Amino acid sequence: MILVTGGKGQLGSALGALLEKQGKLFRAPDRERLDVTDLAVVCEALNGLKPSLVVNCAAYNHVDRAEREPHEAIAVNALGVRNLALVCEDLGIPLMHISTDYVFDGGSKVPYTIAHQPRPLNAYGRSKLLGEHFLTSMCRRYYLVRVSWVFGEGERNFLFKVFRWAKDRGTLRIVDDQVSAPSYAPHIAQVLLQLCETGAYGLYHLHNSGECSRYQWASYALGRAGWQGRIEPVSSDHFPTPAERPAYSVLDLYPLDEMIDYCLPTWQEATDQWLKEAGYL
C-alpha cells in the first residue's frame, strides 16, 4: 500500500487518480487527516497503515507569504519532512519526497543538473532545501525529486490565474524574465510511479520537456484557447513581489529521463492536456 501525504494537492490528487486507475492500493489523506507537522500523528498513521512506500506531496507553497511567515514554511517543508524521514527510517519504509527548482539561484545559463549546488533566493526555497537536508541525512532509502512550476487540478497554479486575469481584462502583462519548464501533475505522477519501482534511490530532476518563460507559457495557452486580448512581455521589476524568484531554473533531467519507459510530453502538449481538462479546448 502506498501512502500519499498532501492528498488533496495538485500532485497528490494526480497520484491518487493514477493509482486508482492502475488498481493499486493506496491512501491519500489530506492535511486534516494527516498533518505532517505533528510527529505523533505521523507516527500513528505509519504504524497503523504500514505502507510499502510514502510519497510526500504535502507542502507549504506560498512563495511570497513565506517571506513574512518563514516558520510556517519551515514547519511543513522541513520539519514535516523530518517527521516522515524519522518514522520511515524507523519502520524501514522508503520515502519519496518532492522538492523544487527554487532551491537554485537562477544564475546558471544551462539547465541545472543534480550536481549543481543549491543556493535559494527566498524563504520558501530555503525551507525546501532544509527539508532536503533532513531527508538525505535521516533516511537511507529515499527518492528526492525536484520539479518546477507544477500545474494540474485546482486553482493554485499559474495557468488557472492567467485565465482568471484574462476573463476580466483586454490586455495582460506577463513576466518574460523567469524561465523554467512547467510540470503537469498527471505526467509527473506517471514518472514518480515508475521511479519508485526501480529501487534506484537518490536525487532526481523532473519536469515536462522543453523550456519557456512565463510570458511564453501564458501566450501559448491563451492562444490555443482562442483568447482575443493582447499579451505583453514585461520584466519582473514591473511586478515587485516580496520573494525574489530565480531568473532561470530549467532542470537537466539526466539520469531520470533515461531510466523510465515514458517519453515526457513537451510543455506545449502538457498545456494542451490541461486546457482540455479545464474545458478550454
Ligand X SMILES: NC(=O)c1ccc[n+]([C@@H]2O[C@H](COP(=O)([O-])OP(=O)(O)OC[C@H]3O[C@@H](n4cnc5c(N)ncnc54)[C@H](OP(=O)(O)O)[C@@H]3O)[C@@H](O)[C@H]2O)c1
Closest CB 232 distance from ligand X, rounded Å:
23
CA distance 205 to 148: 9
**CB neighbour list of residue 71: distance below 8 Å, 6 or more residues apart:** none
Closest CB 230 distance from ligand X, rounded Å:
26
For ligand X, which is the closer residue by CB, 93 or 189? 189
For ligand X, which is the closer residue by CB, 42 or 172? 42
CA distance 172 to 76: 34
CA dihedral 188, 176, 272, 59 (to 10 degrees): 30
Closest CB 2 distance from ligand X, rounded Å:
16
Contacts with ligand X, residue ranges (CB under 6 A)? 5-6, 8-12, 31, 34-37, 57-61, 76, 80, 98, 100, 147-150, 156
Closest CB 58 distance from ligand X, rounded Å:
3
For ligand X, which is the closer residue by CB, 97 or 268? 97
Q: Judge whether 124 counts as a catalytic residue.
A: yes
* Residue at shortest CB range from ligand X: 9
For ligand X, which is the closer residue by CB, 37 or 178? 37
Where does 1-157 have alpha helices with state H?
10-21, 39-49, 65-68, 70-74, 80-91, 123-138
Relative to beta strand 142-147, strand 95-100 is: parallel
Q: Which residues pair with 151 in a beta bridge?
A: 184
Closest CB 74 distance from ligand X, rounded Å:
12
Q: Which of 60, 102, 112, 124 is catalytic?
A: 124
For ligand X, which is the closer residue by CB, 256 or 261? 256
Where does 157-236 have alpha helices with state H?
158-168, 185-198, 214-224
* Cα–Cα separations (whole angstroms), residue 55 to 13, 84, 225, 279: 12, 10, 34, 30
- By annotation, the residues acting in catalysis are 124
